Amino acid sequence: MGVIGSGVGGLAIAIRMATKGYQVTVFEKNDHPGGKLSQIKAKGYRFDTGPSLFTLPELVDELEDYAGEKKSQQLPYKKLDIICKYFYQNGKTINAYTDPERFAQECKKQVGENPDRIRTHLKKVEILYKQTANIFLFNSLHRIKNYFRWEVLKAVLRFDRVNLFSTMHNENQKRFTTPEVIQLFDRYATYNGSSPFMAPATLNVIGHLENNIGAYFPTQGMYAIAEHLHQLAVSKGVDFQFNKLVKRIVIENKQAKAIETDSGIHTFDIICSDTDVSYLADNMLQHPLEKRLKRMQPSSSALIFYWGVKKEFPELELHNIIFSNNYRSEFDAYFNKKTIYHDPSVYIFISSKMVKEDAPPGRENWFVMVNAPTTDGQNWDELIKETRKNIVKKINNRFNVKIENFIEYEEIGSPLTIEANTLSKGGALYGHSGNSKFATILRHPNFLRSIKNLYFVGGSVHPGGGIPLCLASAKIVDKEIPGNL
Ligand SMILES: Cc1cc2nc3c(=O)[nH]c(=O)nc-3n(C[C@H](O)[C@H](O)[C@H](O)COP(=O)(O)OP(=O)(O)OC[C@H]3O[C@@H](n4cnc5c(N)ncnc54)[C@H](O)[C@@H]3O)c2cc1C
């Protein structure tokens, strides 16, 4: 089997297929595995450059168990006590505790939200997850047979509860009374690169992962996930070809036959792509993929400043958000005006709060991120300069500091660098957005009827973006491919 790309999806399918007995070769254009899950090391600092929130770690456990890895050698991670610390412009803060009851009490104490409303919401999203996860996340929606299971029929009968016809924001407005808590729950739309003002309320289910199941963190930081899965794949005999850009998938007689790189044509019985499916359609396949692909709205991208900060901030946690004052205008800027809002919500992730070696003593490694549109002819140099100024101002006001004086190292990640590094079209973080009713459930399938032996994994195809769903995509493809060659 040939796998294109060593992102989370590519690593997971390589491990699964090697475990099943296939001989697997992974072609990766970069010199390291991980794709968007990557890292920078410089001047004594280490930064995770992509994902920072780790949910559903049991999907990593499950993959390791599947591959027969001993429990004692599996990826170590911890459950967080505080998922995220939220800062509002009215000076209020909320610590989102992993413990749901403590979180409900915190919302009451800090902003006066009725804890019963939090409890009811968390119950509702738990039920929604239980009713839908197995159907929508762990199965292909493109196999007719999957629709004739009792579990699916039950869910269809209860379709009104899935909340497809209201937006996340509208539903959250009905469920909560305080603007701070509404904004906090609206934020989950960004977990698949969407806007809470457009995405269906079904996506409120994302909150279940953090608020009920919990948020986690690998004890050696996020990149340890990629390193660990890479090592596991190698131990299963997977061959990694780094610095190998795949130019084309060769299709003959409606069958995927080979992969073309600079070093020639490599033939395989089965080919699996972890490439962003829009990039693949534009560049690597002489076969029309679904026309729908062109019409689908890309997910958001991000602008990130990696700062080595020569000061410690005890008021900050591992994950922090300083919210914008006008969330609606902020998302309007990303998705309609295709620019970055002048008062963006700023996410600050500091892995050195947990992994002490990630920054020199007395210092912190700040990953400062704002949402951004995908590339669309913007003047990025200007936009980055302007946004940096706005972020610095916001941080200085909030923490009464002159942060510029403490930044001793800086690197910048933008939609342009994300696109260049991972070949994700426009620098989209999650493939396509979930901004329309059916976008979330009608992502690109994991296989095609029109081309045999070609499969798709990763964040741009079903069931969606983010580490857990990329792992789920590999599980779905695994089920599609017979075992034991
Ligand atoms: C800034 C940022 C923040 C994020 N935050 C979170 C978060 O907190 N939590 C979370 O769960 N997710 C988050 N995500 C999303 C998550 O990182 C992705 O959904 C996931 O990592 C994508 O994995 P993938 O399998 O789709 O592969 P990708 O990571 O997209 O990697 C694809 C790989 O394939 C290689 N490749 C592509 N085409 C070719 C080719 N033709 N030839 C050879 N190699 C090729 C690329 O070089 C790349 O290494 C974030 C992403 C970013 C960028």
**Tens-place pLDDT, residues 270-295:** 999 999 999 999 999 977 776 777 88
Rounded Cα distance, 269 and 264, in Å: 17
Q: Which atom of ligand 1 is nearest to the CA of 35?
A: 49
Check whether residue 412 and residue 476 sit in a common domain: no
Check whether residue 418 and residue 350 sit in a common domain: yes
Express as a percent the part of the chain with pLDDT over 70: 94
Cα 35 to averaged position of ligand 1 atoms, centre (Å) = 4
Cα 173 to averaged position of ligand 1 atoms, centre (Å) = 33
Task: Identify the pLDDT of residue 152.
Answer: 66
Nearest CA-CA partner of 222 in 346, 374, 60, 65: 60
Select from 183, 214, 245 the last residue of a domain. Answer: 214
The total number of structural domains in the chain stands at 3
Task: Identify the pLDDT of residue 135.
Answer: 72
Check whether residue 85 and residue 210 sit in a common domain: yes
Q: Is residue 439 part of a domain?
A: yes
Backbone angles phi, psi at 213, to 5 degrees: -80, -40
Determine which residue's CA is closest to atom 48 belonging to ligand 1.
Answer: 35
Task: Identify the pLDDT of residue 138.
Answer: 78
Check whether residue 307 and residue 224 sit in a common domain: no
Q: Is residue 76 part of a domain?
A: no
Check whether residue 272 and residue 159 sit in a common domain: no
**Per-residue model confidence as pLDDT tens digits over 38-95:** 999 999 999 999 999 999 999 999 999 999 999 999 999 999 999 999 999 999 999 9
Q: Is residue 450 part of a domain?
A: yes
Task: Identify the pLDDT of residue 162.
Answer: 64
Task: Identify the pLDDT of residue 436.
Answer: 83
Check whether residue 377 and residue 449 sit in a common domain: no
Task: Identify the pLDDT of residue 257.
Answer: 97
Burial of 157 from C-beta contacts in 10 A (0-12 / 13-18 / 19+) = exposed
Task: Identify the pLDDT of residue 155.
Answer: 64
Determine which residue's CA is closest to atom 34 belonging to ligand 1.
Answer: 5
Segment 145-171 mean pLDDT: 71
Check whether residue 93 and residue 179 sit in a common domain: yes
Select from 403, 422, 441 the last residue of a domain. Answer: 422
Q: Is residue 111 part of a domain?
A: yes
| DSSP string for residues in 206-247 | HHIIIIII--EEETT-THHHHHHHHHHHHHTTPEEE-S----
Which residues fall within 8 angstroms of residue 227, CB to CB, at 6 or more apart? 33, 34
Segment 291-318 mean pLDDT: 93
Check whether residue 333 and residue 358 sit in a common domain: yes
Report the amino acid identity of residue 466: G
Cα 445 to averaged position of ligand 1 atoms, centre (Å) = 18
Segment 358-368 mean pLDDT: 98
Pocket of ligand 1 (CB under 6 A): 4-10, 27-30, 35-37, 50-53, 245-246, 274-276, 284, 302, 304, 418, 422-424, 429-430, 458-459, 465-467, 470
Q: Which atom of ligand 1 is nearest to the CA of 5?
A: 34
Check whether residue 410 and residue 454 sit in a common domain: no
Q: Is residue 374 part of a domain?
A: yes
Rounded Cα distance, 433 and 429, in Å: 9
Select from 186, 214, 242 the last residue of a domain. Answer: 214
Task: Identify the pLDDT of residue 229.
Answer: 98
Check whether residue 97 and residue 160 sit in a common domain: yes
Cα 234 to averaged position of ligand 1 atoms, centre (Å) = 20
**Per-residue model confidence as pLDDT tens digits over 168-227:** 999 999 999 999 999 999 999 999 999 999 999 989 999 999 999 999 999 999 999 999
Check whether residue 118 and residue 206 sit in a common domain: yes
Task: Identify the pLDDT of residue 165.
Answer: 76
Task: Identify the pLDDT of residue 160.
Answer: 59
Best of 16, 36, 55 for a ligand 1 pocket test (most atoms within 8 Å of beta carbon): 36
Determine which residue's CA is closest to atom 36 belonging to ligand 1.
Answer: 5
CATH code of 323's domain: 3.30.519
Determine which residue's CA is closest to atom 49 belonging to ligand 1.
Answer: 35
Q: Is residue 73 part of a domain?
A: no
Q: Which atom of ligand 1 is nearest to the CA of 468?
A: 11
Best of 26, 49, 223, 274 for a ligand 1 pocket test (most atoms within 8 Å of beta carbon): 274
Check whether residue 189 and residue 105 sit in a common domain: yes
Q: What's the predicted TM-score (pTM) here?
A: 0.96
pLDDT of 28 > 90? The answer is yes
Rounded Cα distance, 475 and 485, in Å: 18
Write out the residue range of the structural domain in which residue 388 sits. 300-422
Which residue(s) pair with 94 in the sheet?
A: 86
Q: Is residue 304 part of a domain?
A: yes
Cα 352 to averaged position of ligand 1 atoms, centre (Å) = 23
CATH code of 11's domain: 3.50.50.60
